[in-house]
Amino acid sequence: MTRTMLHDRLPFILGAILLGASSCLAHAQISAKHDDGAQPQIDAAAAKAWSRHGFSDAQREAIREAMRRGLEEKFVPGGALLVIHRGEPVFREGFGLADIESKRPFTPDAPCRIASLTKLHTATLIAMLVEQGKLSWEDRVDKHLPDFAHLAVRGKGPASRAPKIRELLSHTAGFAGQKAYQSGEWRIKRDGTLAEAVGSLPAEGLATEPGSVFAYTGAGYLVAGRIAEVVSGKEFAALMKEMLLMPVGATLATFQLSAEIEKRMPTMYQHRNGELVKVDRSRRPEAATTFPNPGGGLISTLDDVGRVLLLHRNRGTVNEKRLIAAEPLAELYRAQPVTDRASYGLGFNVLKTGQGRGGVRLGHLGASGTQVALDFENDLIVVLLTQVPQTETQSYRQRLIQTIYAVFQSRNSARDASADD
């Protein structure tokens, strides 16, 4: 299955995962040895919170067993899992190895390439700029980037209009899908600045009329990131750090791969002939990208991704201080027009809607083997970081997320039954 096909099926995959199951992040860790010799890195404060939130040791062990199966079946060499319940971490553990050769453990604080989880960060930043009045969801791209005023739909002639901001973030702007860019049929400039990369896009043209078709792609996020630079007067990475990452406490998240970060990062693996082999990073697209990629370039940790999701869980507040109003964030949770099959909002897949058609259960995948769930209904956040392609780990991740949801749904069922008594 190609990555484009997989992303087109994201709501179905994520929905099956979640429906198939019957604020301060602590850093203290203890170790416990698995039978296979791996040393899980267990957060002591989260372990205590697990019991305080009414969960049993057996339920926690069920999640650990699901994690171990991924190691035993060689889906992944290791990973890290964070579960936040009612705004508090109740499960925060690293498991397996970050590097097979050196047997370096995969710790909860390991910096990872989070790939498309970057999109929810960028969408959150754009929502903050909307609240500030620097742009609008309905703004056309050419209002901020005049070179997009006369776009053409390839093979059909002039486009009727330029895409809107909301279409950039919902993959409905008319750009070609990811597969077309990967094949070289459509090109994105990878070197130079973000401004230069976005400046190369008008000549490539559109694949469809803006607002008419859903096609998962990073191109719209590049354009949105460039617009953020234009309206703020600041470089994208600096703007992201100033407006979002630092205020929520995500101090380790970065677009810049330093030697120190690279030394701590888990090795990226892929499957070949039934074995896990190292990925040659020099051949990966990010190796050739010299600018901060708003659609997939962030390096972050379990905790820092959790902190951004807590901003959403808390409806725009951090430590009881408001960073952004709830309403601009709520726009991200609404499935956008023509994304019916994909059920995509702005930076999130909308897995379940509540009254008023707003999403109450959201999620996203990252191509590097990352996944998040943001569940307002169960007051639950899940962050899973691995560094094996998501296309190769789908069944493993599905079992793990199902196990997590089985634990929380059984607790809710028991609580409801008790209330009825």
Integer CA distances (angstroms), 375 to 82, 291, 313, in order: 14, 33, 8
The answer to whether the predicted template modeling score (pTM) of the entire model surpasses 0.85 is yes
Asked whether the predicted pLDDT for residue 204 surpasses 60, the reply is: yes
Residue 23 confidence (pLDDT): 38
Q: Which amino acid is at 299?
A: I
**pLDDT category of residue 235 using cuts at 50, 70 and 90:** very high
Could you tell me if residue 184 is inside a domain?
A: no
Q: Residue 78, Cα to own-chain centre: how many angstroms?
A: 19
Asked whether the predicted pLDDT for residue 403 surpasses 90, the reply is: yes
Of 276, 156, 162, 314, which is closest to residue 224 (Cα–Cα)?
A: 162
Rounded Cα gap, residues 414 and 23, in angstroms: 26
Could you tell me if residue 241 is inside a domain?
A: no
Could you tell me if residue 190 is inside a domain?
A: no
In this structure, what CATH number is given to the domain that contains residue 319? 3.40.710.10
Query: What H or E segment, with its residue span, contains residue 127?
Result: helix 118-131
Task: Kindly report, residue by residue over 344-356, the tens digit of the pLDDT.
Answer: 999 999 999 987 7
**pLDDT category of residue 270 using cuts at 50, 70 and 90:** very high
Give mean pLDDT, residues 109-130: 98
Rounded Cα gap, residues 43 and 24, in angstroms: 13
Could you tell me if residue 169 is inside a domain?
A: no
Residue 420 confidence (pLDDT): 47
Residue 298 confidence (pLDDT): 98
Number of domains composing the chain: 1
Residue with tokens 């703020």: 232
Rg (CA), the chain: 21
Rounded Cα gap, residues 226 and 188, in angstroms: 14
Which residue segment(s) compose the domain that 261 sits in? 3-112+253-268+297-420
Task: Kindly report, residue by residue over 240-255, the tens digit of the pLDDT.
Answer: 999 999 999 999 999 9
**pLDDT category of residue 186 using cuts at 50, 70 and 90:** confident
Asked whether the predicted pLDDT for residue 133 surpasses 70, the reply is: yes
Could you tell me if residue 59 is inside a domain?
A: yes
Is 125 in contact with 247 (CB distance < 8 Å)? no
Could you tell me if residue 43 is inside a domain?
A: yes
Q: How many helices (H) and strands (E) in the chain? A: 18, 17
Give mean pLDDT, residues 77-84: 98
Structure tokens at 39: 């040393």
Asked whether the predicted pLDDT for residue 124 surpasses 70, the reply is: yes
Task: Kindly report, residue by residue over 163-173, the tens digit of the pLDDT.
Answer: 999 999 999 99
Output phi, psi for 336, to 5 deg: -90, 160
Secondary structure of residue 65 in the 3-state scheme? helix
**pLDDT category of residue 415 using cuts at 50, 70 and 90:** low
- As a whole number, the mean pLDDT across the chain is 89
Could you tell me if residue 305 is inside a domain?
A: yes
Could you tell me if residue 318 is inside a domain?
A: yes
Residue 43 confidence (pLDDT): 87
Give mean pLDDT, residues 57-74: 95
